[in-house]
Homo-oligomer: A and B are copies of this chain.
Amino acid sequence: MEYNELTELIEKISALLTEKNFRAVKTILDDEMPQDVATLLEELPDKDMPVIFRLLSKEQAADTFVEMSSDSQEMLINVFSDSEIKAIFDEMFVDDTVDIIEEMPASVVKRIISQSDAETRHQINEILQYPKDSAGTIMTVEYVSLKKSWTVSQCFDRIRQTALDKETIYTCYVTDEKRHLIGCVTVKDLLLHDYNDLIADIMETDVLSVETTDDKEAVALQISKYDLNAMPVVDKENRIVGIITVDDVLDVLEEEATEDIAKMAAVTPSSDTYLDQSVWQIWKNRIPWLLILMISATFTGLIINAYEATLSALLFACVPMIMGTGGNAGSQASVTITRSLAINEISPRDVLKVLWKELRVSVSLGLVLACACFAKLYLLDGLAFGNEYTWQICLTVSIALFVTIVIAKLIGCLMPILAKVCRLDPAVVASPFITTIVDILSLVIYCLIAQALLSGGM
């Protein structure tokens, strides 16, 4: 829904509310997509939210609830009666319930769990026990399981009976009496076969599956790579416990990209949206990085103080330009390599190919930039603006710039690969840390080259 459509709808609903025409509000909202109803509810004044929410049909209420921010969810739960909580959570898939529970304070969690039946409570507890970011935490426990002795016609009956969510019926899993995964069959396969054909004859027995403890990002990338509709999740004994569907994959990949981007900008990632985070949360996610980077940056000050005798005021003036360009050159390489590693375009075994490529790129980039820098300093700043840039100073600056760019690129491409090999997160080292390392190195290089070329200050 576009922003102006939303504004229009809000006005319409507000008008109907003042007329107390609740029936009309209900008719309108039951027809909208749950995602849009959630947005709408959150744009309305807080006091109206429970009133309108209670107008929704049971299914629409559950679907809408899942789409709301955790603050709004908590607010609603606090005004709900126990039977209202039960009605909503009974309509929900277990994995959505778990997602909500994970964001709620303990007292709210208790109320939700006390309203679930024993089976659901058991499933919730199982999912809550899977390690963070594992396949188990994002899987859906609702799926269609078939027996290999069934006919196509029996399978259709089974699908009709279960009638689960659209995502979860198009690939069905064939299990033995001990729930071991032995095959899979798509609704398309079923449609293309005769009603009396046996599943044993048409099922695909070579099924890709993942374990509950596998990393969710790796699973998402696999589903995306092989264009699958769903991926079965099995336990250590190859018993199917759930499936991961493509809409979960979309969420995981979007979340992982957002996390990597945050880390590259030296921010601790958060699972909340920006507007949902409090000032305190944002502060907490940013302060450690800024502090560490600031403290390490103060070492540049010590280097400058140490080389005070070597660096004239004119040479000093070029320090920010050299450090800035080195930082930019380094993050170009590191961010590119980090992203390629994240989406499996390259792997650590490509390290030599990457190094050789970056070496050639950096030398050709460095040459052009060094020449441009020499020309700019000598002709513009020196001759035109009358600063005392002799050709010796210009040469010193240009050579230092060249060396800085080459070193920055090589460090920039090596660090993320090294991080990956050491099982650290490449995104964390990708941009700000490399900039700091390059800052310090480039300064030392600059001072050493200045000392060598200008022999003891000019």
| B274 engages A336 (CB within 8 Å) | yes
CA distance A206 to B325 in the complex (A): 54
Asked if A262 CB lies within 8 Å of chain B CBs, one says yes
Asked if A331 CB lies within 8 Å of chain B CBs, one says yes
Asked if A258 CB lies within 8 Å of chain B CBs, one says yes
Contacting A187 at CB < 8 Å: which of B170, B192, B336, B369?
B170
CA distance A318 to B299 in the complex (A): 9
| A357 engages B282 (CB within 8 Å) | yes
A81 vs chain B, min Cβ distance (A): 29
Binds B, one of A72-80, A84-92, A155-163: A155-163
- Shortest 4 CB-CB contacts between residues of A and residues of B: A265-B335, A257-B257, A301-B317, A304-B317
Residues on A lying within 8 angstroms of B by beta carbon are 3, 31, 33, 35, 156, 159-160, 163, 166-167, 169-170, 186-188, 191-192, 206, 224-227, 229, 246-247, 249-251, 253-254, 257-258, 260-262, 264-267, 273-275, 279, 282-283, 286-287, 289-291, 293-295, 297-298, 300-302, 304-305, 308, 313-314, 316-321, 323-325, 327-329, 331-332, 334-337, 339-340, 343, 345-347, 349-350, 353-354, 357, 360-361, 364-365, 368-369, 372-373, 376-377, 381, 385, 387, 401, 405, 431-432, 435-436, 439, 443
| B274 engages A345 (CB within 8 Å) | yes
A35 vs chain B, min Cβ distance (A): 6
Contacting A35 at CB < 8 Å: which of B225, B273, B331?
B225
| B298 engages A381 (CB within 8 Å) | yes
| B373 engages A294 (CB within 8 Å) | yes
Contacting A160 at CB < 8 Å: which of B192, B249, B334, B350?
B192
Known contacts A294-B373, A365-B283, A432-B328; is-contact A247 B273 (Cβ 8 Å): no
| A297 engages B325 (CB within 8 Å) | yes
Most central of A267, A274, A368, A432 by chain B CB within 10 Å: A274
Residue of B nearest to A261 (CB): B339
| A435 engages B324 (CB within 8 Å) | yes
Known contacts A317-B305, A320-B319; is-contact A227 B253 (Cβ 8 Å): no
Known contacts A267-B336, A345-B273; is-contact A289 B328 (Cβ 8 Å): yes
CA distance A289 to B333 in the complex (A): 13
CA distance A35 to B344 in the complex (A): 13
CA distance A357 to B331 in the complex (A): 28
